[in-house]
Amino acid sequence: MAELGKKYCVYCLAEVSSLRFRCTECADIELCPECFSAGAEIGPHRRWHGYQLVDGGRFTLWGAEAEGGWSSREEQLLLDAIEQFGFGNWEDMAAHVGASRTPQEVMEHYVSMYIHGNLGKACIPDVIPNRVTDHTCPTGGPLSPSLTMPLPPLDISVAEQQQLGYMPLRDDYEIEYDQDAETLISGLSVNYDDDDVEIELKRAHVDMYVRKLKERQRRKNIARDYNLVPAFLGKDRRDKEKPSKRKITKEEKELRLKLRSLYQFMSCKEFDDFFENLHKEKVLRTKIRELQRYRRNGITKMEESAEYEAARHKREKRKENKNIGTSKRGKEDGKEGEFAAIENLPGFELLSDREKVLCSSINLSPARYVTVKTIIIKDHLQKRQGIPSKSRLPSYLDKVLKKRILNFLTESGWISRDAS
């Protein structure tokens, strides 16, 4: 007859007082670990029925030869403690396991069995892969670290800081862009009795304030990027420290002024690269046209281009010298032939160069021009003195010639404009 207080497996009749598996669906069905693992079935009991682990408190998880003789109940309390208090809080874990275990014993048992033991070797890989995913965006993105990293303060003197109202430790100014932006949220408060409309209105105020802050920071970044503060103070250090690689032409300066509106969309480096690429494009187009000109003239090798350019330069120089000589001779001949019709007439030597041109253009003899000029000037002087006079111009002078002569005398200063 079985001894009282002892439990036996219903299949193999082995003693299972220390550890047994009890079926939750069948009454009085308790199996030993060996029969349970083999899937033993007896009576109405089947292997897929639910079960409950019954521990008498004397079962050792690591075997009787394990160091310290930790029971399964203590092992369960240890795992509960490590989950509750975390790794390293050995004093709290020892108090949770029981007074029979010291913090040193708890630490040594957990490290030896669960980390360096077979269970730790099976669960913890030798090389732990990096499963951390970087969700931050590039510089300037919504989650970019650059948004929270303060920029270095401006390199300006104390007097210049006072002039600008600049606070270097905060990288702020005494008067910021949209100085009254904080009034949007200064009076906001969260109340429990706010309805949905009031909550949405307060959110809209906060959103407006955030947009104003972003605009304020955007303007600061543009001023910092394009070095506007030193330029305002009259000492653009950037140009001194980094000399220009090439001389900027007048056309490029005018184009830069026209495209200043792009500053808010492009960084200073991107803007400089843009114009540098425009210059490279212009150089390449010039080179392409030069190569096409070589090809049209039958040149297929670069060695032949030097000889061709030298010959072309000489040819253009000869042509230029020839044109200069021709123009000089033409001017001399023109001057001699221009007054050929009136140079032998009386009074020619009394005329100035401009009067000679006038008489030649209107086909008027020098003597008649001198007569008309004398009459007009005499009448002008009598009118200025208040003496009434009647114009006595010759009959051969029509209205067109009279008007041209009057305009000429007026421009030359002989008579006033009112008299003409």
What is the rounded distance in angstroms from the CA atom of residue 69 to the CA atom of residue 244? 81
For range 18-28, the mean pLDDT: 86
**Comparing 75-79, 98-102, 139-143, 284-288, which segment has the lowest mean pLDDT?**
139-143
Q: Are 168 and 153 in contact (CB under 8 A)?
A: yes
Give pLDDT tens digits for 53-97. Answer: 787 666 676 665 566 678 777 888 888 998 998 888 999 999 998
pLDDT the model gives residue 407: 83
Q: What is the pTM of this model?
A: 0.33
Q: 72-123: same fold as 1-56? A: no
What is the rounded distance in angstroms from the CA atom of residue 113 to the CA atom of residue 62? 9
**Comparing 237-246, 323-332, 388-397, which segment has the lowest mean pLDDT?**
237-246
| Domain 72-123: assigned CATH number | 1.10.10.60
What is the rounded distance in angstroms from the CA atom of residue 38 to the CA atom of residue 24? 18
Q: Which residues of 145-167 are buried (b: 16+ CB within 10 A; e: fewer)?
A: eeeeeeeeebebeeebeeebebe
Q: Is the dihedral of CA 389, 395, 398, 401 positive or negative?
A: negative
pLDDT above 70 for 391: no
Q: Tell which residue, 2, 37, 1, has the closest CA to residue 20.
A: 37
Any idea where the domains of the chain sit in the sequence? 1-56, 72-123, 348-412
Confidence of residue 304 (pLDDT cuts 50, 70, 90): confident
Phi-psi bin for 29: left (phi > 0), alpha (psi -120 to 50), beta?
beta
What is the rounded distance in angstroms from the CA atom of residue 284 to the CA atom of residue 306? 19
In the CATH hierarchy, which fold is given to the domain comprising 1-56?
A: Wheat Germ Agglutinin (Isolectin 2); domain 1 (3.30.60)
